[in-house]
Amino acid sequence: MTTLAPGTVRVTRLRVRWIAAGVSAVVLATVLGVAIGPVAIAPSRLLGELTQHLPWVSGATGLDDQQMNIVRELRLPRVVLALLVGSMLAGAGASYQGVFRNPLADPYLLGAAAGAGLAATITIVASPGVTNGGFSILPVAAFGGALGAVLLAYALGRAGGGRSPATLLLSGVAVAAFFTAAQTYVQARNADDIRQVYSWILGRLTVASWREVVLVLPYFVVTSVVLLAHRRVLDVLAVGEEEATTLGIPAARTRFIIVAAASLATAAAVSVSGLIAFVGIIVPHTVRLLFGSSYRVILPLSLLFGGAFLALADLVARTATAPAEIPIGVVTAFVGAPFFVLVLRTSREVHS
């Protein structure tokens, strides 16, 4: 195998069979996520329910009223929300990795997690039970906190006299450290609410409904379109900013657009799911190892496999210890870490 120099990207064309594999993973995760639960639903009947509204499909689904309610109001919105959140986190992680030229960068790099965590903690402490019934301001607070932290990191980076990725990274580290310290202080002063805070921090989709899906969907569409439109530019930025400038690409402005879109996707994701770790690292990096280092391939496949990965992780979270649920962030870390190691070893054996 030819070893590529650091910063070099081997441009690979996106193949139809790879897209087909990603779509198949999404379909499989959807079917399993909706079919498996305390009330088992046969996959054949489930597919009939999911496809009955297509013009070329006719006939009854074979589901009774109870099963229809379970599918339509409980399981399907939760699975769809998991697909959207996983897709946004994986796409944001891939974009961050391209902008900062670091395959281990994640969506929380610029302080989005710390900002959302602090805002959510303050909201829970100030309004106990805010997540129970009625309109919840917790997603709004988390969304604002995540975006606020990223904007502060970007402002500090510019104020420091530098626009380089390294300066922005250092600003993100500083902002994340400050917000995390503030969150720890608030938690220490309000020990009675710490269990609810940790439940949010570890990630959850237990309150998923069509309302959350509708809330997140516009952010998913807009940010995915923006990031996919810049996937070729990310290949150039991965080589170096001087090369990008030589080709007429405004590196600083392009980086800002990509970071803004990725941060918006991250903020929208954490606002409805809490802090789910590992998705933004393992999915893009696995795609890179299996399909190539070009962002023409990494971004679209990360969107597909990221959604499938989180939907399957949520399935494990709600069924492994039923009727209790494991925090989904625990599952993504517990499942993701050994899988990541396995992919690394497999890749090394194949290319050695």
234 contacts 7 by C-beta, under 8 angstroms: no
Q: In angstroms, rounded to a whole number, what is the distance separating the alpha carbons of residues 59 and 67?
A: 17
pLDDT of residue 54: 56
The residues, any chain, with a CB within 8 Å of residue 225's CB and separated by 6 or more, are none
Residues 257-264, mean pLDDT to the nearest whole number: 93
Q: What is the pLDDT of residues 163-212, one digit of tens each?
A: 677 888 889 999 999 999 999 999 888 877 778 888 788 888 877 889 89
Q: Which of 4-18, 82-96, 201-215 has the highest mean pLDDT?
A: 82-96
Give the model confidence (pLDDT) of 276-301 as tens digits: 988 998 899 889 888 988 999 999 99
| pLDDT computed for residue 132 by the predictor | 43
Q: Residue 37 — very low, low, confident or very high, per pLDDT cuts 50/70/90?
A: confident
Among 121-125, 243-247, 267-271, the least confident range: 243-247
Where do the structural domains in the chain lie, given as residue ranges? Answer: 16-351
- The torsion region of residue 203 among left (phi > 0), alpha (psi -120 to 50) and beta comes to left
Predicted model pTM:
0.86
Residue among 217, 283, 236 at smallest CA distance from 101: 236
Q: Are 157 and 163 in contact (CB under 8 A)?
A: yes
pLDDT tens, 145-171?
Answer: 999 999 999 888 877 665 677 888 889
pLDDT tens, 333-343? 887 777 767 65
User: Of 55, 33, 54, 31, which Cα lies nearest the Cα of 43?
Assistant: 31
Across the chain, the runs of DSSP E, i.e. the strands, are: none
Three-state DSSP at 203 gives: coil
Instruction: Report residue 324 as tokens.
Output: 């209790």
Q: What angle do CA 193, 196, 201 make, to 5 degrees?
A: 120
CB neighbour list of residue 113: distance below 8 Å, 6 or more residues apart: 146, 176, 270, 275
- At position 97, the amino acid (one-letter code) is Q
Question: Which option is the CATH number for 16-351: 1.10.357.10, 1.10.3470.10, 3.30.390.30, 3.30.450.20?
Answer: 1.10.3470.10
**Statement: residue 15 has pLDDT above 80:** yes
- Say what percent of the chain tops pLDDT 70: 83
pLDDT, mean of residues 118-139? 72
